[in-house]
Amino acid sequence: MSELFSFLPPAPALFGQLLVGLINGSFYAMLSLGLAVIFGLLNIVNFTHGAQYMLGALCAYVLLNALGVGYWAALILAPLIVGALGIVLERLFLQHLYRLNHLYGMLLTFGVALILEGLVRHQFGSTGVPYPIPELLNGAWDIGFMVLPIYRVWVIALSLVICLATWYLIERTRLGAHLRASTENPKLTRAFGINVPRLVTLTYGCGVGLAALAGVMAAPIYQVNAQMGADAIIIVFAVVVIGGMGSIMGAIVSGFGLGLVEGLTKVFYPQASTTIVFIVMVLVLLVRPAGLFGNALLAGAAHGASSDTATCAPPPVLSRTLLVVVLLLGLVAPQIVYQVFLMKVLCFALFASAFNLLLGYGGLLSFGHAAFYGGASYITAHCVKELGMDPALAILAGTAASALLGLAFGVVGIRRQGIYFSMITLALAQMIYFIALQAPFTHADEGIQGVPRGKLFGILDLSNTNTMYYFVFVVCSLGLWLIYRTINSPFGNVLKSIRENEARAVSLGYDTDLFKLQAFVLSAALAGLAGALDALVFQLASLTNVHWSMSGHAMLMTVLGGVGTFAGPIVGAVIVAAMENYLAQLGAWVTVIHGAIFVLCVMAFRRGIVGEAARFLRLRSKARAVVSATAPAPTRRLKAEPLQ
């Protein structure tokens, strides 16, 4: 009988990993609970949640070391302080976005998260700082088959109590009924004398407070550092989507359940423990598109989140003029500016333009484009360095790999829209990231270094920087021309109609899923082309290019330049590359500046630089036309005729 279960690990190891899984599940549940509350009642996808979790831990650390306030008081004070900061954020920024597209709330909270993480990293550094376990909860219980740390048992028990209490408050009390009514029909709720704005603000503050409370509880287990929230928020998003966006019970069950699944995976197949949550997410959404506990109403609200973005494209003549100017500048720029920097701009411009093809013209916000950019860079680098392939063939291999990857992503996610589509692409991209982290040919953290540029077709020596630049310039120009032709073709017009009103496009007989899938594959292939060139330009393929933050880079460049404009991503690429190149000595402040740009774009000029310039020109042209139409006609002087 004992031989039958010989594959099982020893009991201490098994129960130890289950305990770790329960602890992780406790934090997943509390964080996803806060996210579910905020999305379910406010329809805001709060990317700042991870940073607010980090602020809770940091607040406990500062209270202890600066004011001598211990753990027990911090459990109350830190959530109140961080929750109050959340209320300020909601009053100053978020309240202006409730009636707008979900995209703007995501962009704003993403920018705020970057600002907070950059400020904390600047002030406290990147290394973690320890927080002591309170004396009352120190020590462990020996229960025979394992040793049980008291503090970890406390974390599991407290988080379970808080999660259930929150569920009961929202689902079973009068206050919870008022909150739900305020979301579903605010006008009618206000007619009954309920202060809806105050309820909305307090709801956001409570959701933020839950994240901060989780941070305080996590501080004695994990070291307090600026990145602790960024590392957790991606998994928490997956947990929320699995449970169902806005479902309180779904967040609780999925959080604890996925923590246990993650713990068991570490026992039987440790290599998959970092990706198992995302694998489960994909499988669940294939069977239940709204998540385990999601409902059609919330799913429908999420599905409408990616259309109706503010765009204002320049007139076609101006776009063509800008294209010609860019080409001319590209030809002469190497004589003025450092060529490697220019090649970085070109790669970024193609990458951002590929991203904009999907968001600006297809209305689909993808957080997975880092997988295409970084994946192609790995394939190209491996083909050139290890297989000795011609650079052109290696670039084609990387581009083709990204196109196939885009096809796989699209088949899984293209039937979803809005938030669900974004989260699916993010989950799939994280799977690619963890594969890149563990695959032998990628060399983990070191990456593929010293990639030879080789000779193009055995003739052109790309090790010459000048030759390499013009090769990159020609390839990127062809890629940008392909995007320009696509968006100004009948195919591009159908994409725009799907973005504006998909139901109407379906009624006209278009297979919208097929059109979106084709756009997704094309966008993935062009992003991969940019990543393949990046590997040769910098002679390196690393985890940085495949990390989800690279998708944030594409989003930043597109939003800054102008979503839905051809020249916008190019302008954004120039600015972002220049900031990274010339502001690198500022360290963490670069992250703060990136975040501030997101906030500024959302709050002040949602059309971006090119979009706002195009809008200004259109308004000026209309004003001139009105003046010309209303001006009195010039009087004509009659020539006097002689008297007869």
In the chain, the amino acid numbered 439 is A
Residue 231 CB-half CA count within 13 A: 13
Handedness of CA 599, 604, 606, 610 (dihedral sign): negative
Distance in angstroms (rounded) separating the CA atoms of residues 407 and 409: 5
Using CA atoms of 134, 136, 142, 148 in order, give the dihedral in degrees to the nearest 10. Answer: -40
**Angle CA(250)–CA(256)–CA(257) in degrees, nearest 5?**
80
Answer yes or no: are the C-beta atoms of 548 and 370 closer than 8 Å. yes
Which residue matches tokens 């062009």?
526
Phi, psi dihedrals of residue 98, rounded to the nearest 5°: -60, -35
- Whole-number Cα distances in Å, 129 to 51, 223, 413, 575: 16, 5, 40, 35
Q: What is the pLDDT of residue 423?
A: 79
Quick one: pLDDT at residue 309? 54
- The 3-state DSSP class for residue 245 equals coil
Q: How far is CA 539 from CA 529, 533, 536, in A?
A: 15, 9, 5
SS (H, E, C) 589-618: HHHHHHHHHHHHHHHCCCCHHHHHHHHHHH
- 138-141: list long-range contacts, CB under 8 Å, 24+ apart: none
**Top-level CATH class of 22-100+133-305?**
mainly alpha
Taking the C-alpha atoms of residue 422 and residue 107, their distance in angstroms, rounded to an integer, is 12
Q: What is the pLDDT of residue 307?
A: 42
pLDDT digits (tens, 9 = 90+) for 157-176: 999 999 999 888 888 888 87
Q: Are the C-beta atoms of 474 and 533 separated by less than 8 Å?
A: no
> Could you tell me which residues come within 8 angstroms of residue 169 by beta carbon, excluding any fewer than 6 positions away?
175, 176
Residue 547 amino acid letter: H
The Cα 598–Cα 555 span in angstroms is: 9
pLDDT at residue 295, as a whole number: 61
**What is the dihedral angle through the alpha carbons of 434, 440, 441, 447, rounded to the nearest 10 degrees?**
60
Q: Which of 149, 153, 140, 48 is nearest to 90 (CA)?
A: 48
Decide if 523 contacts 402 (C-beta within 8 A).
no
Q: Where are the alpha helices (DSSP H) in 310-459?
A: 316-332, 339-362, 369-385, 391-413, 418-438
Q: What is the pLDDT of residue 6?
A: 47
Residues pairing with 537 in the sheet: none
Q: Which two tokens stand for residue 202?
A: 């307090």
Residue among 166, 230, 182 nearest 37 (CA):
166
- pTM of the predicted model as reported, rounded to 2 decimal places: 0.84
Separation CA 340–CA 469 (nearest Å) = 8
For residue 141, give the H/E element and its range. strand 140-142
Can you say whether residue 416 is alpha, beta or left, with left for phi > 0 and alpha for psi between -120 and 50 degrees?
A: beta
Yes or no: say if 210 and 166 are a contact pair by the CB < 8 Å rule: yes
The Cα-based distances of 261 to 18, 19, 21, 276, 278 in angstroms read: 9, 11, 7, 8, 12
**Residue in 19, 20, 27, 17 with CA at minimum distance from that of residue 255:** 27
Domain spans of the chain?
22-100+133-305, 314-548
What pLDDT score was predicted for residue 56?
94
Residue 412 to residue 513: CA distance in whole angstroms: 12
Torsion of CA 327, 328, 333, 335, to 10 degrees: 140
Instruction: Report the pLDDT value the prediction gives residue 23, as an integer from 0 to 100.
Output: 86
Residue 638 phi/psi, 5-degree rounding, is -85, 140
Contact 152, 23 (CB under 8 A): yes
Beta bridge partners of 460: 456
Q: Mind giving me the DSSP string for 533-600?
A: HHHHHHTEE-HHHHSHHHHHHHHHHHHHH-TT-SSHHHHHHHHHHHHHHHSGGGTTHHHHHHHHHHHH
* Residue in the structure block whose two tokens are 């406290």: 124
Query: Which amino acid type is present at position 492?
Result: G
**Residue labelled with tokens 């990628």:** 442
Separation CA 466–CA 335 (nearest Å): 10
d(CA 596, CA 585): 18
Helix (H, G, I), strand (E, B) or coil at 307: coil
Three-state secondary-structure class, residue 274: coil
Q: Which residues of the chain have pLDDT under 70?
A: 1-13, 40-41, 144-146, 183-184, 294-320, 322-323, 631-644
What pLDDT is stored for residue 214 in this prediction? 92
Give CA–CA dist 606/105, Å, rounded. 12
Write the single-letter amino acid at 334: P
